[in-house]
Structure formats: structure tokens, C-alpha cells
């Protein structure tokens, strides 16, 4: 998606060859109007799933905003997997899965209340990033436990040089990413399906 690639090129910070910071519009400061455009793009990409999917599934915290932006176009509710346990307001009857966080270098448990994901539902997974695919696999595992059906995985930014997307596609999962980054060497972002080379501002930290 050209608009997203331009935004990444203009504002994103390459922190290291495998870490990109987009906290200025996607996952800390949120440009809600821009996320609406990304949500509309998901609806175009998965147009054949409008009226078919029953739910959008994501994981807290940074998936919530983009999942909600997409949900408005599919007219379905968002279900977000919660991290950890011990919350008094959470259902105890849950589907759980373990997820290794690439950015935090920790293993966490994500869970979804069983009553909110039923057998036969058709689910679209939406998330902000796809790198090693750990979060996506955790969500897919939960969908499987629920005997629900996976429509596909919609990602804002895929790091194409990390194996998550390739592995999921090899398993037959439909993965649609609005921007696929081929490499971030030398602080430069190269997108997979574009000859354009982007040179975002080098990170100063």
C-alpha cells in the first residue's frame, strides 16, 4: 500500500537491522484517521470475506487499534487475546497459547474467553507486525482449539526478511500484508514489492 510505504519512509526509525520503530503513528502515538485508511485497505484486500467472517481476532495491546479500524469495515466485533492471568474481570474458561515476544524477549501466555469464540466461526486475524510469526501462530492455535475457521491473516507491516510470513504461507495460510519490508540494512528500508528505496532518518538512540 503506497500510502503506508510513504509514511514508513518518511517517519519510521530503523533502530537496528531488524527493529523498526513506527510508534509515531501505529503503536504508541496512534493516527486514528490514518488507521481508518489502513482498515479500509484491509476491507479491499479481504473484500471476498466481507459478510463471511464473524469476528476479527488480535492480541493486546498494539493490535487493538488497527483491528478496531478494520472491524468497522467488516461490521464484525473485535476479540483481543489478553496477555497473562490473574485479572478479576476475566473469564476463567479460556483458550490459552504461549507466545514468544521478539521485541520484549519474553514468553507470555495469551488467552481468549471460550464463550467469545465458537466452533464454526470464521475469523480474520489482524495485527500490526509480522516478523517471526509467534503472535500469529498463537492466535491461529487458539482458533484451532475453538474449532473455528481461519479466513486469513491481515498485517500492517511484515518484515519479509524474517521467517513468519513465509512459514505461514507455506502452511497454506492466506497472509496479506499492507507493506512488506525486504531489508533494513544501513538504516534504509527496502520494500519487497517496490523498487523504491526509502531512507528514513537514522535512529539516534
Binding site for its own copies (CB under 8 A): 15-16, 19-21, 23-25, 27-33, 35-36, 60-61, 64-65, 68-69, 71-72, 75, 77-80, 82-83, 86-93, 103-106, 112-113, 116, 205
Burial of 30 (0-12, 13-18, 19+ CB in 10 A): middle
Q: State how far the Cα of 120 lies from the Cα of 89, in Å rounded to an integer.
A: 27
To its own copies, the closest distance from the beta carbon of 191 in angstroms equals 19
The CB-of-31 to its own copies minimum distance in angstroms stands at 5
Our CB check for its own copies shows the closer of 6 and 75 to be 75
Shortest distance in whole angstroms from residue 188 CB to its own copies: 18
Nearer to its own copies, 15 or 166 (CB): 15
Nearest CA among 110, 45, 42, 44 for reference residue 71: 42
Choice between 19 and 192, CB closer to its own copies: 19
Shortest distance in whole angstroms from residue 90 CB to its own copies: 7
Pairing of strands 122-130, 55-59: parallel
Contact in structure between 156 and 128 (CB atoms under 8 Å): yes
- How far is the C-alpha of 92 from the C-alpha of 82, rounded, in Å? 12
Rounded Cα gap, residues 114 and 93, in angstroms: 6
The CB-of-195 to its own copies minimum distance in angstroms stands at: 27
If the CB atoms of residues 126 and 178 are measured against its own copies, the closer one turns out to be: 126
CA distance 152 to 156: 13
The nearer residue to its own copies, 16 or 171, going by C-beta atoms, is 16
Amino acid at each position: 500500500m503506497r500510502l503506508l510505504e510513504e509514511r514508513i519512509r518518511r517517519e519510521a526509525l530503523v533502530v537496528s537491522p531488524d527493529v523498526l520503530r513506527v510508534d509515531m503513528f501505529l503503536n504508541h502515538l496512534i493516527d486514528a484517521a490514518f488507521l481508518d485508511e489502513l482498515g479500509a485497505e484491509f476491507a479491499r484486500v479481504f473484500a471476498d470475506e466481507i459478510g463471511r467472517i464473524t469476528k476479527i481476532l488480535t492480541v493486546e495491546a498494539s493490535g487493538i487499534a488497527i483491528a478496531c479500524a478494520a472491524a468497522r469495515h467488516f461490521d464484525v466485533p473485535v476479540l483481543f487475546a489478553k496477555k497473562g492471568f490473574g485479572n478479576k474481570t476475566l473469564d476463567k474458561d479460556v483458550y490459552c497459547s504461549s507466545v514468544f515476544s521478539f521485541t520484549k524477549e519474553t514468553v507470555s501466555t495469551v488467552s481468549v474467553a471460550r464463550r467469545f469464540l465458537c466452533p464454526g466461526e470464521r475469523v480474520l486475524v489482524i495485527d500490526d507486525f509480522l516478523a517471526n510469526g509467534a503472535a500469529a501462530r498463537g492466535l491461529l492455535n487458539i482458533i484451532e482449539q475453538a474449532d473455528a475457521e481461519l479466513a486469513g491473516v491481515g498485517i500492517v507491516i511484515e518484515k519479509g526478511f524474517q521467517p513468519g510470513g513465509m512459514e505461514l504461507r507455506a502452511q497454506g495460510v492466506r497472509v496479506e500484508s499492507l507493506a512488506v519490508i525486504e531489508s533494513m540494512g544501513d538504516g534504509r528500508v527496502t520494500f519487497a514489492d517496490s523498487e523504491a528505496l526509502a531512507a528514513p532518518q537514522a535512529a539516534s538512540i
